[in-house]
Structure 1
Amino acid sequence: MDEKESETHALFLTLFTANEPAIRAYVRRLVPTRQDSADVMQSIALVLWRKFEELRNPEEFRPWAFGIARYEALGWLRDKARNRLVLAEDVLEVVAEESSQQESRLAAQRDALADCLEKLPGDQRELVLAAYAPGASIQNVADRSGRTVAAFYQWLHRIRGRLMNCTHRALKAEGLS
């Protein structure tokens, strides 16, 4: 790989890594399951890389990637149309369009929540993240916290309320509420 290819590769990885959670969330709203979104994301990553040279302005990466993600997801859904759980294409077009329009608001919410999580004391943040980790056992997390399961759920409910209030305040301060 020569220097130019190496720079292109580095730029692509930087842009893709920064935008991958938003693209994944967008795709997740279009396809039925998380596994489906993982399958579609693999295809999207390959197409994005293959067509990366067509992108003229790196600042336009997210809308460009969303466009590709939309076509890949709709194509995947068309291929799966035999499944009764798949929505009609016109409905999917509406969902895709509304999802694109909502992305900036959702990104602001994700950023605000991440900032609010960072404000929690480390031990509390670790317990919240552990409770919502894939495959987490509330019993194990409650034991780790030194609480009963019932007491842990009460504590988690209070923390979620604090996070929600913090997130709302942050969004309101940015004029996004």
Structure 2
Amino acid sequence: MPSASRRFAVLLIFAGVALTILYFSGYSDTIDSVGAQLRPASKEATQQPIVVEDSILHGHAIAPKLGNETAKAELGRAAWKLFHTTFARFPDKPTKDESRALKSYIHLFQRLYPCGECATHFGELLQKYPPQVSSRSSAAAWGCHVHNKVNERLKKELFDCSNIGDFYDCGCAEDEKEGGTKAQGKAETS
């Protein structure tokens, strides 16, 4: 005859399996609908234009306050590196569509930024200093200016925007080595 602890273990495993089956059978419709969303869209659906209303681009910050100061500082450094590198890789002469894409990206970035109070402050800066996206140099200069506005608020040292290209290399030198005719190696500022 099996011991009491062995019977209990078998009963526990049986109960776990039964609960798992009941749990997933109750959500089969939900699982099916999620699976349908993950399937590749039809060719017609992928050719439909994506329309982003102004209310989505200019709405409130979504994330709550981020209380961990270390995480907030690390996030900020990473975000600024991403922003400045994006501006450094932006075309010298962007199309209207490329300029609209960058402007939309900046506004969505603000809304979705994981630090709520940082996102709210950045949204105020976007209202006061709208993104400049007519060229690489205007985007880089705008990004540096806005970064310095944040540095002022945080009582940090201001950055010399005339040197922005020395700190955020666009990485285009690798493209030139491969025979490409990509944009210049450093972000220019004006």
Structure (1 or 2) with the larger CA radius of gyration: 2
TM-score bracket, normalised by the shorter chain, equals under 0.3
Give the structure with the higher percent helix. 1
